[in-house]
Amino acid sequence: VLDRSLCWVTAHTEFELVAFINVAWDGGEHAFLLDTTVHPDFRRQGIGTRPVAGGVRVCRERGITWVHVDCVPELEEFYRRACAFRPSAAGILKLS
Ligand SMILES: CC(C)(COP(=O)(O)OP(=O)(O)OC[C@H]1O[C@@H](n2cnc3c(N)ncnc32)[C@H](O)[C@@H]1OP(=O)(O)O)[C@@H](O)C(=O)NCCC(=O)NCCS
């Protein structure tokens, strides 16, 4: 997966990995945040916003126009309020 990524961003304590995000890219104007994850012991401490911000910063530096993310309804507040994403129409098709 990471071979096909624009970048991935991590957050660490002194001893361990606590957060991760993967940024996929179409090679043009669109990038996609995937697999945003914070270790369960470290959630709701403001850590998750940091790898998201780091991934967005890389996209901006690379001249990408649009950064997409999908999430379950429960996490809309995380992406909208804490990470400044705005809602958009989107679709998904389950193949298996
Ligand atoms: C989603 C996730 C990355 C958030 O990371 P986090 O470090 O806990 O988030 P933050 O502490 O930076 O949250 C910032 C704000 O986002 C919102 N938020 C975060 N998690 C939320 C949740 N589970 N439900 C509702 N709002 C949430 C809150 O407004 C929060 O501020 P507050 O704690 O002051 O209320 C983390 O819960 C996670 O790893 N979840 C499991 C994996 C997953 O579902 N990833 C999403 C893939 S799209």
Whether the model clears a pTM of 0.75, i.e. scores above it, the answer is: yes
Residue 86 corresponds to which tokens in the numbers above?
């705005």
CB-ligand 1 contact for 96 (6 Å cutoff): no
Tens of pLDDT, residues 27-67: 999 999 999 999 999 999 999 999 999 999 999 999 999 99
Nearest protein CA to atom 7 of ligand 1, as residue: 48
Residue 82 corresponds to which tokens in the numbers above?
């804490």
Distance, CA of 56 to CA of 32 (rounded, Å): 10
For residue 13, the 8-state DSSP code is: -
